[in-house]
């Protein structure tokens, strides 16, 4: 019961944080958050709010990667091809992936209106194509 209560409190607080957030699900929002993550990786001390926003970027990128991996496993199991995939090396760091995405977003400002999910996939695919 205690674990349930703590989970409920966490979800409530998370909901409040996201309710005040500026996330629009596009490339501009992603660039803002991922630029903060790069600053953290570079050793800059940020406010708690900015550090959390940088963490949102990292979580978003990991979620995108996990989704791509899940689709790859489904394709392998079903013997079908649904999409072209990204294949980052196993030794690629989180900081490296974030930097790849930030560079792609900065190099393609005309695409920042597109959904973040599309841009993340394009950025990682272009830097780490499957062979």
Structural domain includes residue 42: yes
Structural domain includes residue 87: yes
Domain count, the chain: 1
| CATH number of the domain enclosing 67 | 1.10.890
Structural domain includes residue 15: no
Q: Is 88 exposed, middle or buried (0-12, 13-18, 19+ CB in 10 A)?
A: middle
Structural domain includes residue 2: no
- What is the CB-side half-sphere exposure of residue 121 using CA atoms within 13 A? 15
Structural domain includes residue 18: no
Structural domain includes residue 60: yes
What is the extent of the structural domain holding 104? 24-127
Specify the pTM. Answer: 0.75
Q: Per-block average pLDDT, block size 10, for the chain (131 residues)?
A: 44 47 88 96 94 94 88 84 81 95 98 94 90 78
Structural domain includes residue 97: yes
* The pLDDT of residue 44: 95
């Amino acid at each position: 019961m205690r674990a349930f209560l703590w989970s409920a409190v966490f979800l409530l607080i998370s909901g409040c944080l996201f309710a005040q957030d500026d996330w629009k699900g596009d490339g501009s929002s992603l660039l803002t958050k991922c630029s903060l993550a790069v600053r953290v990786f570079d050793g800059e001390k940020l406010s708690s709010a900015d550090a959390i926003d940088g963490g949102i970027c990292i979580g978003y990128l990991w979620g995108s990667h996990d989704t791509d991996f899940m689709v790859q496993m489904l394709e392998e199991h079903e013997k079908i091809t649904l999409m072209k995939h990204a294949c980052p090396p196993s030794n690629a760091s989180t900081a490296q992936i974030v930097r790849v995405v930030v560079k792609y977003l900065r190099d393609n400002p005309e695409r920042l209106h597109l959904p973040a999910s599309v841009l993340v996939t394009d950025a990682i695919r272009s830097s780490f194509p499957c062979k």
